[in-house]
């Protein structure tokens, strides 16, 4: 559930780096004042003048050597304990700078078919993710907010590009795996009610519950676009009224509606702008019961199944603590 993480430890003596990381650390960069090394998929950066050790990378890859297999909360806990045990530094000294929480969701069809129906979260649009180097294909969408970011992308397509997997080796990889993740800054964690984000606190029950709650609540509030309407279910509508309603709905969920809102805000007035935003929300809610919602329904059902698998807190607390 917890994947990428950025942590730092203050007051780390050079002797510890020589003892624990000598084999992986590169030559000290006098100009930048730091040393960098990679061990078990994690990057260690040591700032000698400040006596700070920064650790960043994927706990998922640290444990599984890939990031597409099932990865549970207890496995993330074990990974943190192993890192602390290796360095012989207690987990309360690991200050969290940012974390990514997420889940891999198996789906029936190509992930982009589901991702393309994801429209917005609390009025904030999902936009295409920047393609990886060497391709112009879009493999996902993201929604960036202050302090956190939501992403949906094709996990296997991303993994193939990242690792440069040859065509002959791709058959062993799973098919149609959609990744849903949220990246949280330290500031945002504190805003959400965690005044002291440390690796030790990630082992506590309230953090596990928070991770699950956040993934569920954001998924619940995401608006999916779908113009496949079951017109026969819409009651008491004449042909003309129905036609206008469908036209308004398709316009409301299109990119053109944002330009319309911008026009109202800049040239008509704040009141008309807010009125149009409220009208859109009401229209989308009123139409939701009449949408086929094939991809939205399947995605949400599979998400519930997978989140139940990764949320194994009881097993996590039975692990040996540092």
Q: Which tens digits make up the pLDDT trace of 16-55?
A: 999 999 999 988 888 888 999 999 999 999 999 999 999 9
User: What per-residue string of b and e applies to 19-39 under the rule 16 or more CB within 10 Å gives b?
Assistant: ebbeeebeeeeeeeebbbbeb
Position 321 scores a pLDDT of 47
Position 236 scores a pLDDT of 62
- Tell me the backbone φ, ψ of residue 242, rounded to 5 degrees: -60, -45
Instruction: Give the number of other CB atoms < 10 A from CB of residue 210.
Output: 18
Provide the token pair at 42.
């994690």
Position 322 scores a pLDDT of 39
Residue whose pair of structure tokens reads 């493999």 in the numeric block = 139
Query: Residue 253 region, left (φ>0) first, then alpha (ψ -120 to 50), else beta?
Result: alpha
Cα–Cα distance list, 277 to 135, 242, 264, 271, 273 (Å): 36, 21, 10, 10, 6
Could you tell me which residues come within 8 angstroms of residue 261 by beta carbon, excluding any fewer than 6 positions away? 273, 276, 277
Digit-by-digit pLDDT tens for the chain (322 residues) are: 899 999 999 999 999 999 999 999 988 888 888 999 999 999 999 999 999 999 999 999 999 999 999 999 999 999 999 999 999 999 999 999 999 999 999 999 999 999 988 988 988 989 999 887 777 888 999 999 988 999 999 999 999 988 888 998 999 999 999 999 999 999 999 999 898 999 999 988 899 999 999 999 999 999 887 656 666 777 766 678 878 888 888 888 777 898 999 999 999 999 999 999 999 888 888 887 777 678 898 999 999 999 999 998 776 665 544 3
- Tell me the backbone φ, ψ of residue 258, rounded to 5 degrees: -65, -40
**What is the Cβ-side half-sphere exposure of residue 68, based on CA atoms within 13 angstroms?**
19
Cα–Cα distance list, 174 to 50, 53, 68, 105, 297 (Å): 44, 36, 8, 11, 22
**What is the Cβ-side half-sphere exposure of residue 19, based on CA atoms within 13 angstroms?**
8
Gyration radius from the chain CA atoms: 23
Position 24 scores a pLDDT of 94
């Amino acid at each position: 559930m917890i994947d990428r993480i950025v942590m730092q430890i203050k007051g780390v003596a050079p002797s510890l780096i020589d003892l624990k990381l000598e084999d992986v650390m590169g030559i000290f960069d006098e100009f930048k004042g730091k040393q960098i090394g990679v061990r078990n998929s994690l990057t260690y950066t040591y700032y000698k003048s400040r006596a700070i050790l920064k650790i960043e990378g994927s706990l998922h890859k640290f444990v599984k050597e890939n990031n597409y297999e099932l990865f549970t909360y207890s496995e993330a806990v074990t990974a943190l304990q192993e890192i602390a045990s290796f360095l012989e530094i207690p987990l309360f000294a690991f200050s969290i700078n940012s974390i990514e929480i997420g889940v891999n969701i198996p789906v029936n069809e190509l992930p982009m078919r589901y991702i393309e129906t994801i429209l917005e979260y609390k009025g904030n649009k999902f936009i295409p993710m920047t393609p990886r180097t060497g391709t112009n294909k879009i493999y996902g969408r993201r929604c960036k907010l202050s302090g956190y970011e939501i992403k949906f992308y094709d996990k296997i397509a991303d993994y193939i590009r990242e690792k440069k997997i040859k065509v002959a080796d791709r058959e062993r990889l799973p098919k149609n795996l959609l990744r849903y993740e949220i990246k949280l800054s330290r500031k945002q964690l504190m805003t959400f009610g965690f005044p002291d984000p440390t690796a030790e606190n990630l082992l506590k029950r309230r953090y596990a519950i928070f991770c699950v709650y956040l993934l569920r609540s954001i998924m619940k509030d995401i608006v999916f676009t779908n113009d496949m309407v079951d017109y026969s279910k819409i009651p008491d509508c004449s042909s003309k009224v129905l036609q206008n309603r469908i036209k308004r709905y398709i316009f409301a969920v299109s990119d053109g509606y944002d330009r319309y809102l911008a026009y109202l805000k800049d040239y008509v007035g704040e009141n008309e702008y807010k009125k149009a935003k409220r009208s859109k929300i009401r229209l989308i809610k009123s139409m939701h019961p009449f949408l086929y919602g094939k991809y939205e329904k399947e995605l949400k059902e599979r998400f519930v199944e997978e989140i139940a698998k990764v949320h194994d807190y009881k097993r996590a607390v039975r692990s040996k603590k540092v």
